[in-house]
Amino acid sequence: MRNFEYYTPTRIIFGKDTHYQIGDLLKQGNYKKVLIHYGSGSIVRSGLLKEITDSLDTAGVSYVTLGGVVPNPRLSKVYEGIRLCREEQVDFILAAGGGSVIDSSKAIGYGAANPWTDVWNFFLKKKTPTDCLPIGVILTIAASGSEMSSSAVITNEDGWLKRGCVKTDLCRPKFAILNPRLTYTLPQYQTESGCVDILMHTMERYFVNLETMEVTDSISESLMQTVIYNARILMNEPGNYNARAEIMWAGSLSHNGLTGCGTGGGDWACHQLEHELGGQYDVTHGAGLSALWGSWARYVYKENPERFAQFATNVFHIPCGLDFEKTALQGIQAMEDFFRSIQMPTSLHQLGLDLTDSQIHDLAFRCSFEDTRTIGVFMQLNMKDMEKIYHMANADHTND
């Protein structure tokens, strides 16, 4: 196993009605001006924005608001937020929404606190931020894990590049309020895409080609089983509080570093491949991962069939004989069957894309940073490998 450091400073406030504490929480922090940052209107329609502003008014906390964050959040909105923070002397950002809103908040926090450079340089990994405005979260969708993570992903409309920021602990939220009831209004597609993203945050760390820790493996396998079980429940019972709660907590645990302890940080090839789909074709992140994972898995599993066989047995209870490759393939099939059972795509066609060879080439070219980097550790993938995986995903293998 690898040495590791585990740091997860975010205070979690979990459960029914917890968001009503927001005014008092911010008052205790003695913040002078809060930016309430949100998306394209779901929190206006649900009444959450009014509940937040009422709570801040009652506590006597000043604020400004900035909505309009879209999925695959844009750099132009980040610039708008940075300007607003400067004009209004904002000293705290409250992200009320999902991963897109949280990531936009983190980018604004970096930009406002580092006026010496353009914030996009942190996403091009040319510069490293030295500070960030403090961030708090009221989460409305269980998916990205950004409420506890050290990362942020932003899309630059100039070239449609979707890139992850340099990872630092500076942007980890000070607190995250997780009220599962706030997720009841989600469309089913978003709920289930979120479940795939949560699974993938564990699987990216689980599928590494090195000796891991038994305790970390057990936590990961249990998280995966919990998400699979409750994602199925939510297909028929979107108002099931316990299932929403299990998914929400699993979402945070899957991306706060816990499942990477001893595994050397993870593989992350599927995420890299998917970010190009998000940047170019604006697909929903979890659905994009679902469309790619099976193709990635079939391309790489022979590097370490035992690991995939362990996954098949411990997550899907598939008996394992001596033929690890056969069990590995059964495990991959089982995960794809699960994706289909929650109406998630297992090919790019099902994701609504029909890509030409040249479009696929372009995705691989971008993902490999113009053929200058490899991705993944389970198997290191160069540009040609990436192209092959996109091609496999482009072929509909629903009836495999």
Binding mask 151-180 for ligand NZQ (x = CB under 6 A): xxx---------------------------
For Zn ion, the closer CB: 55 or 280: 280
DSSP 8-state class, residue 74: B
- Report 243-302 residues binding ligand NZQ (CB under 6 A): 255, 271, 278, 285-286
**Sheet of strand 135-139, all strands in order from the earlier edge strand to the far edge:** 11-14, 175-178, 135-139, 92-97, 34-38, 63-66
Contact stretch for ligand NZQ (CB under 6 A) within 52-60, 76-84, 99-107, 378-386: 99-107
363 closest CA partner among 332, 345, 385 = 385
237 contact partners, CB below 8 Å, separation of at least 6: 243
Q: How far apart are the C-alpha atoms of 392 and 400, rounded to whole Å? A: 12
- Report 181-210 residues binding Zn ion (CB under 5 A): 197
For ligand NZQ, the closer CB: 65 or 333: 65
For Zn ion, the closer CB: 90 or 137: 137
- The full DSSP string for 129-161 is -S----EEEEESSSSS-TTT-S--EEEETTTTE
Q: Does 274 bind Zn ion (CB under 5 A)?
A: no
Q: Whose CB is nearest to Zn ion?
A: 197
CB of 55 to ligand NZQ, least distance (A): 18
- 193: number of Cβ within 10 Å: 27
Place of tokens 């790619």: 292
For ligand NZQ, the closer CB: 40 or 313: 40
Q: How far apart are the C-alpha atoms of 195 and 363, rounded to whole Å? A: 25
For ligand NZQ, the closer CB: 264 or 286: 286
Q: Does 8 bind ligand NZQ (CB under 6 A)?
A: no
Q: How far apart are the C-alpha atoms of 102 and 173, rounded to whole Å? A: 9
Q: Does 141 bind ligand NZQ (CB under 6 A)?
A: yes
Q: Does 101 bind ligand NZQ (CB under 6 A)?
A: yes
151 closest CA partner among 265, 300, 281 = 265
CB of 146 to Zn ion, least distance (A): 9
Sites of contact with Zn ion (CB under 5 A): 197
Sites of contact with ligand NZQ (CB under 6 A): 39-43, 71-73, 97-101, 103, 140-141, 143-146, 149, 151-153, 182-183, 185-186, 190, 194, 197, 255, 271, 278, 285-286
